[in-house]
Structure 1
Amino acid sequence: MLRNPWFETVAEAQRRARRRLPYAVYGALLAGSERGSTVADNVAAFGELGFAPRVVGHHPKRDLSTTVLGMPTAMPVLISPTGVQAAHPDGEVAVARAAATRGVIMGLSSFASQPVEAVVAANPATAFQIYWSGGRDTIVQRMERARSAGCTALIVTLDWSFSHGRDWGSPTIPERVDLRTMLRMAPDVLPHPGWLWRFARAGRLPDLTTPNMRQPGGGVPTFFGAYREWQESTPPTWADIAWLARQWGGPVLLKGVSRVDDARRAVDAGVTALSVSNHGGNNLDTTPATIRLLPSIAEAVGDQVEVLLDGGIRRGGDVAKALALGARAVLIGRAYLWGLAANGQAGVENVLDILRGGLDSAVLGLGHASTDELGPDDLAVPDGFTRTLGGTR
């Protein structure tokens, strides 16, 4: 056990996750397509933006709360849906509990290792994420299961994944984990006894199945089984997205927008929110960082739908910068997974506390009383920083 399980930065959470996790698991968390240019730019771009702080008129109390997808949240940070969380035996349930204790919204992947019913029980403020996978009847069945479980919002992910190669090599991820697989992977696993001990104490092996992708009358597919279903499905049209939004009938977040024309088409399709996203660098490599694309998209459709951003968030200051450039909120992925690996539910809470503290410091230093007051004047934006794809603003 660590002498001090608490950490003060997301970077330290990442360092602890790297020490604790076998490479196959840690490498999957780092995953980015091809040479990782987009992964790197997602993070580095935030460092190019400067703050313009004020020195007088600070507010003694700041309000960081908002609403997203019709749900209140204590701060504009949402848990982004990520699949098969083998970093910890409690996986998405631990993350959902952490999010609930900190008053933030949980995004649950349809590729999750925990069933939607268990996650909603841990955090009623859960948005269910779905891929366009299988036929319309299958998609409706999965949506209705999420609705019956208590989800009130839907996340439709369309930015994953047209590019699979990684220049540094992909980690070996097995179809399923059984005794034979554990023996084969022992050289990678045994140097990380803490990770192994957590699963041994829980009385189970890492679960690579996807219970939320079950088809009626069928078994629970493995991650790769669900992935194959997605690969074999005909990609959706804008008419399909409009149909899906009508079928759900509640808040729908379309995740994966990088172009202004796509943002406008998403509005026309009837979604209530969109996320400027490149799937954390797991789509086409060399796609610009999402924070570079945000201003043009927010300007084009921000008065019609909620605009969110994901990709590269590592500090509370990054959250403030995204809000200043037009985002209503951000989604985090790798940051909370590193926290989960480092210290389970408490590690995820730790990451959320770090982001909240950094965001509060930024709002204070910029002379505001709430996150709603953040705007472009709070930043030093270098010439040529932004990118506009797919038409004019």
Structure 2
Amino acid sequence: MSSKPTWLQNPWKQNPWFESVAVAQERARKRLPAPVYGALVAGSERGQTIDDNQRAFTEIQFAPHVAGHQAERSMATTLMGQEISLPVVISPTGVQAVHPDGEVAVARAAASRGTVMGLSNFASKSVEEVCAVNDRTFFQMYWTGQRDVMVQRMERAHAAGAKGLIATLDWSFSMGRDWGSPEIPEKVDLKTMVRMAPKVATKPRWLWEFGRTGTIPDLRAPNLAPPDGGEAPTFFGAYYEWMTTTPPTWDDVDWMRETWSQISGRPFMLKGVCRVDDAKRAVDAGVTAISVSNHGGNNLDGTPATIRVLHPIAEAVGGQVEVVMDGGIRRGSDVVKALALGARAVMIGRAYLWGLAANGEEGVGNVLDVLRSGIDSALLGLGLSSIDQLGPDVVEVPDGFLRPLGV
């Protein structure tokens, strides 16, 4: 018999395990208030890029073997100096208030599966809290604020134990969605709770999760708090800082990478590369890694799927920097296709957020396990013993599939 008071026992307890990311998404949809779920799935404008990110994987086919399969298969690799047990890492996403434990739950799940946690500086949990539970944390920064402010944020991340820095430059606030943008309140106070009560009340399981911890969804960004102990800005406060910051130049990228190197001596990733010429400029800037990314379809709609632009970029610079990819990963077979076309690893975003919404830390771990199983199955069918053996020869890519931008 449980020793917890009756009101702390979960009246909606069910079999928590799910067999696919699609099931995690459906559970998240049923569990979350409509505006919260809408914020997770929305792309920009007509949603062309977010759709292509997923659909493009269906155009790539495998070339399996009928015999000679390997009894043991390895998925281990390294990324920016960190050993990881599978080529899937957590992409930084802002304000993970779909669950009370937020980024801390995600970081714990990633640590338990032996992989990297990417933490956004728009996160709802501090870099100190996250690094304490996952010692393979990369801290992510947007180009926001004055340089002295950015230096303070780098110094704080380094002091907390961040093993690398991710600079995300492919971001704009998505506007004009054809289906309407979800409502995101500036802050959650009594007035906001009363106004949104009709939408939230229909999701009692989600309310129960927060109620049992005595918390409310926090839309503040503690990693952007001023060093003097002042209050952390809200999401929209952080957005205003971004709006009023002059967009970065390649000289600014040089400065950011060099400053982080002087502070920490640790690796630096540039996220948001879609063009070969930009990838070459990133190499010239001295970055350790690049992420081939279109911000999950939340930036410039009409950008090709990242899997379409990956191979030309990897061919051009893969021997000089580490190449990772994000966008549209929903299955282990997607991961294998990305690795075959030149990625060292992939980053996932929506997939683990759905797992977090569905079942907290265990749900995130479940998503990583689903991807691991799918990778293993693909390696088995391809007759390979390691992800290191993956290359273009194991996939069939149709004519016209690749998009060599900026060549």
Where on the TM-score scale, by shorter chain, does this alignment land: which range? over 0.9
In the other structure, the counterpart of 1:356 is 372
Runs of 4+ aligned structure 1 residues displaced above 6 Å come to none
- Contact 1:82 1:333 (8 Å CA) reproduced: yes
Deviation at 1:55, TM superposition (A): 1.3
- Distance (whole Å) between structure 1 residues aligned to residue 179 and residue 51 of structure 2: 14
- Distance (whole Å) between structure 2 residues aligned to residue 202 and residue 279 of structure 1: 32
What amino acid does structure 1 have at the position aligned with 2:153?
Answer: R
What amino acid does structure 1 have at the position aligned with 2:236?
Answer: F
What is the TM-score when the length of structure 2 is the normalising length?
A: 0.95
- Contact 1:162 1:284 (8 Å CA) reproduced: no
What amino acid does structure 1 have at the position aligned with 2:254?
Answer: A
Deviation at 1:151, TM superposition (A): 0.5
- Distance (whole Å) between structure 1 residues aligned to residue 130 and residue 398 of structure 2: 42
- Distance (whole Å) between structure 2 residues aligned to residue 163 and residue 356 of structure 1: 32
- Distance (whole Å) between structure 1 residues aligned to residue 245 and residue 239 of structure 2: 10
- Contact 2:44 2:176 (8 Å CA) reproduced: yes
Deviation at 1:162, TM superposition (A): 6.2
What amino acid does structure 2 have at the position aligned with 1:235?
Answer: P
Note if 1:247 corresponds to 2:263: no
Deviation at 1:163, TM superposition (A): 4.7
- Contact 1:36 1:166 (8 Å CA) reproduced: yes
In the other structure, the counterpart of 2:79 is 68
Note if 1:94 corresponds to 2:128: no
Question: Mapping of 1:1-393 within 5 angstroms?
Answer: 1-161=12-172, 163-217=174-228, 218-249=230-261, 250-391=266-407
- Contact 2:175 2:181 (8 Å CA) reproduced: no
CA RMSD of aligned residues (A): 0.8
- Distance (whole Å) between structure 1 residues aligned to residue 226 and residue 283 of structure 2: 31
Structure 1 window deviating more from structure 2 (10-19 vs 180-189): it is 180-189
What amino acid does structure 1 have at the position aligned with 2:258?
Answer: R
Equivalent position SS for 2:157: helix
- Contact 1:52 1:366 (8 Å CA) reproduced: yes
Equivalent position SS for 1:185: helix
Equivalent pairs counted in the alignment come to 391
- Distance (whole Å) between structure 1 residues aligned to residue 13 and residue 42 of structure 2: 27
Deviation at 1:165, TM superposition (A): 1.8
- Contact 1:275 1:309 (8 Å CA) reproduced: yes
- Distance (whole Å) between structure 1 residues aligned to residue 175 and residue 288 of structure 2: 30
What amino acid does structure 1 have at the position aligned with 2:207?
Answer: L
Deviation at 1:216, TM superposition (A): 2.6
- Distance (whole Å) between structure 2 residues aligned to residue 60 and residue 228 of structure 1: 54
What amino acid does structure 2 have at the position aligned with 1:136?
Answer: R
Deviation at 1:4, TM superposition (A): 1.0
- Distance (whole Å) between structure 2 residues aligned to residue 111 and residue 376 of structure 1: 37
- Distance (whole Å) between structure 1 residues aligned to residue 172 and residue 397 of structure 2: 31
- Distance (whole Å) between structure 2 residues aligned to residue 162 and residue 44 of structure 1: 24
Deviation at 1:161, TM superposition (A): 1.4
- Distance (whole Å) between structure 2 residues aligned to residue 355 and residue 225 of structure 1: 36
What amino acid does structure 2 have at the position aligned with 1:153?
Answer: G
What amino acid does structure 2 have at the position aligned with 1:203?
Answer: G
Deviation at 1:145, TM superposition (A): 0.2
- Distance (whole Å) between structure 2 residues aligned to residue 329 and residue 232 of structure 1: 34
| Deviations 1:276-322, CA, capped at 9 Å, x for gaps | 10000011101000000001000010000000000000000000000
Deviation at 1:164, TM superposition (A): 2.0
Deviation at 1:231, TM superposition (A): 1.0
1:163/1:187 Cα in 2 relative to 1: closer, same or farther (>3 Å)?
A: closer
What amino acid does structure 2 have at the position aligned with 1:359?
Answer: I
- Contact 1:308 1:327 (8 Å CA) reproduced: yes
Deviation at 1:52, TM superposition (A): 0.6
1:21/1:163 Cα in 2 relative to 1: closer, same or farther (>3 Å)?
A: closer
Identity of aligned residues (%): 68
Deviation at 1:214, TM superposition (A): 1.1
What amino acid does structure 2 have at the position aligned with 1:308?
Answer: V
| Deviations 1:209-257, CA, capped at 9 Å, x for gaps | 0000112333210111011101110111111111111111121110000
What is the TM-score when the length of structure 1 is the normalising length?
A: 0.98
